[in-house]
A and B are shown apart, each in its own frame.
Chain A
């Protein structure tokens, strides 16, 4: 597969090549299936690590907590696939409301476009479940096995009671988190309180078992074992977001101009006198990297933008009493042209960002308006297919329809059905008012009829008519509302 080298960057030093003697053209046979090299990411703390942990807490409190909220005597958020009703706080959505999910996905997509154009892989580095769960799983790993060096020692050590205890404990904790995540996930689709009761006796249904285990296994496998492999080889977003990058996009960069030539030196040594840049070549930026790259080689597709290297390098710069920001968020243009902060900010408001932002605002506004103006019930009119029309008493002509009335409120509702479009049209169905239970749909056969004179005046063929369904105001919570649905009335030959 033809591919370019990791994103060309004028400031990057070239990767250390496996140089043959004298750089001659020598062929070698290599194995094409790369063995997995385990990455021992070192713990990191700092401003950006704080942000990431903040987002871990925020997203996970939301994810684990939401299903436990109650609302209107039911679960606040419940996607009841069996009954095909989707409850989100006050909203009761039907499959017909699929457009809102589409809207939500468009909002999510444009948010990603916008954030990515402005500041690169923000999603990947801070909020993506893969990052968030990896962060949690790595915390467990650190707590039980120690930091980078300790973990490497432990892996190299022969199996013994201590190693068994630490590794076993880690696996147990991972599996528990995975299963809890699976249970929570299923809790969005079956009431989680019942699920928790069932968990005490392991009395899940077959599909609940499957999804709890499947989602639990996916969490455990991806966050415990696969980690950066998911981002590097499996994630499509990681690959197509380069389309949203340009030279004014904030990326995590190493200031080669300031850092090179790198080299070790004493804390008191004057770098200028030693003809050295600010990079002390401590390799900490490599040790903390969750994808195992060296950011000093420039922008690489493996970089998920987590800023761990910024945090750790700033710590080193502090200790060396050099200014911070040898590795920092900056743009390619900013690096090349030495732009200051306000110039960078001005460039952030470039046309592509403005277009993404305005489309996003527009769709959010449209979605919000559409939800606010949502009808408290829906109506579908389906003509009977068997017979188009029939003659009844006194030569009246009758057409039969089925009206599906869908109550999207959580109260019992009553509706009156009327029909119009031809002079003196009448409806005929069981009773004059339809009662529909909360969040239920009901089919109502309705016959519409016209007098022979009207039919003769209208002529043979099909004529447009309207069904008007009107909600009756039974409680103060119900405001008057009516829905008009079009159909046709057939006068036979």
Chain B
């Protein structure tokens, strides 16, 4: 509608609407009488030798249907928006209706979630109905990035392993879902040293998890790793308090291999999980969080 910002358009629509409605009634009146041949009930017009236009009158009740539609239109326009920029006496808007329906849906869901609110994450993980709800919430809201099975992909964390970038508790998961999370690794090339140094550090990092690496380079990179230790710890086991990942496992969120590590060290990385708090209610987040945590537990039950 941004093309029609001038207030004149509102008047144009309103006037056209009123004229059309009045015209409908006028047409009904004009068409109510007709000249016919008294003798054979035709209009006297003949085409193709024998095709005559007969007087086939409309039933009167049908005419009343027309009148009713015009009256309906007038009543509708009085109550609802339609007459140009008039909002109608009911002040109806599609956004308003959407919000009312949302409110209704929330009220309808209330009893479903009521019993889950008092349950712990462990109890929820044992409840097939709760896990079924959790799975559907996950498929609708999370699977787009984390995958239908929650195992993520490059740049999107695997939720089905036990490697958490934060505390990994139920409360932590709920907070991340509600508020989102920004993971930030600053570019560290300047602190590490030359390009060669960065490569060596990459090999050292590879060696931490026992992955294939060049041991000479790793030895050379070990002392340069001091620049990384502030966050990842001297032993490279990471620090959940600042969201620094553990480098000693074989989990590679941003890609495996020398090149991937070099890229991260030189360029850094800011990775964001968007906040879902506006889309999900706290009760939904409670059940969803329990489902997400259950993905990495072996004792979970299948949802239904």
A residues within 8 Å of B by Cβ? 1-5, 17-20, 23-36, 229, 232-233, 384-387, 390-393, 398, 400-402, 428-431, 435, 437, 442-443, 445-447
Contacts and interface: CB of A to CB of B under 8 A. Distances in A.
A393 B250 contact: yes
Contact of B33 (A30, A35, A36, A429): A30
A23 B40 CA distance: 9
A390 B54 contact: no
Contacts of B31: 32
Contacts of A23: 39
A402 B153 CA distance: 16
A429 B295 CA distance: 11
Nearest to B35: A27
A288 to B, nearest CB: 22
Given A233-B62, A386-B144, A31 B39 contact: no
A90 to B, nearest CB: 24
Given A401-B148, A402-B148, A435-B302, A387 B33 contact: no
A442 B303 CA distance: 10
The 8 tightest CB contacts between A and B, nearest first, are: A387-B153, A445-B148, A34-B57, A445-B149, A28-B38, A33-B60, A390-B153, A33-B63
Contacts of A445: 139, 143, 147-150
Contact of A28 (B36, B60, B63, B256): B36
A168 to B, nearest CB: 23
Given A26-B39, A386-B143, A31 B52 contact: no
Nearest to B55: A30
Contacts of A34: 57-60
A64 B150 CA distance: 51
A232 B56 CA distance: 12
A36 B36 CA distance: 20
A386 B59 CA distance: 61
B304 A437 contact: yes
A386 B145 contact: yes
A268 B78 CA distance: 73
A33 B147 CA distance: 66
Contacts of B58: 32-34
B37 A27 contact: yes
Given A20-B38, A29-B33, A32-B32, A233 B139 contact: no
Interface of B: 31-41, 44-45, 47, 51-63, 135-136, 139, 143-154, 156, 250, 256, 300, 302, 304
Given A26-B37, A36-B59, A442 B304 contact: yes
Contact of A402 (B61, B139, B145, B156): B139
A386 B33 contact: no
A1 B33 contact: no
A35 B57 CA distance: 9
A30 B39 CA distance: 13
B149 A400 contact: yes
Contacts of A18: 38-41
Contact of A5 (B54, B143, B300, B302): B54
22 contacts: A2-B47, A3-B53, A18-B41, A23-B39, A28-B36, A29-B33, A29-B35, A30-B33, A31-B57, A32-B32, A32-B55, A33-B59, A33-B60, A233-B62, A387-B147, A387-B154, A390-B152, A431-B302, A442-B304, A443-B136, A443-B148, A446-B149
A25 B34 CA distance: 16
A34 B33 CA distance: 11
A32 B57 contact: yes
Given A17-B41, A18-B39, A443-B135, 11 more contacts: A17-B40, A25-B37, A26-B39, A31-B32, A35-B60, A384-B143, A387-B152, A402-B139, A429-B149, A431-B302, A446-B149
Nearest to B41: A18
- Most A Cβ at <10 Å: residue of B35, B39, B256, B302: B39
Contacts of B36: 27-30
Contacts of B145: 386
B147 A384 contact: yes
A86 B32 CA distance: 49
A68 B222 CA distance: 81
A402 B139 CA distance: 9
B46 to A, nearest CB: 10
B35 A28 contact: yes
A28 B55 CA distance: 11
B23 to A, nearest CB: 18
Contacts of B57: 30-34
Contacts of A26: 37-39
Contacts of A428: 149
A2 B56 CA distance: 9
B59 A233 contact: yes
A144 B79 CA distance: 44
Nearest to B145: A386
Contacts of A400: 147-149, 151
B160 to A, nearest CB: 10
A40 B149 CA distance: 72
Contacts of B300: 430
Nearest to B255: A391
A3 B56 contact: yes
Contacts of B47: 2
A430 B302 contact: yes
Contacts of A402: 139, 143, 148
B34 A24 contact: no
A447 B44 CA distance: 79
B146 to A, nearest CB: 8
Contacts of B53: 1-3
Contacts of A4: 51-52
A32 B27 CA distance: 12
Contacts of A33: 32, 57-60, 62-63
Nearest to A234: B62
A19 B41 CA distance: 10
A428 B150 CA distance: 12
B57 to A, nearest CB: 4
B38 A36 contact: no
Contacts of B153: 386-387, 390
Contacts of A29: 33-36
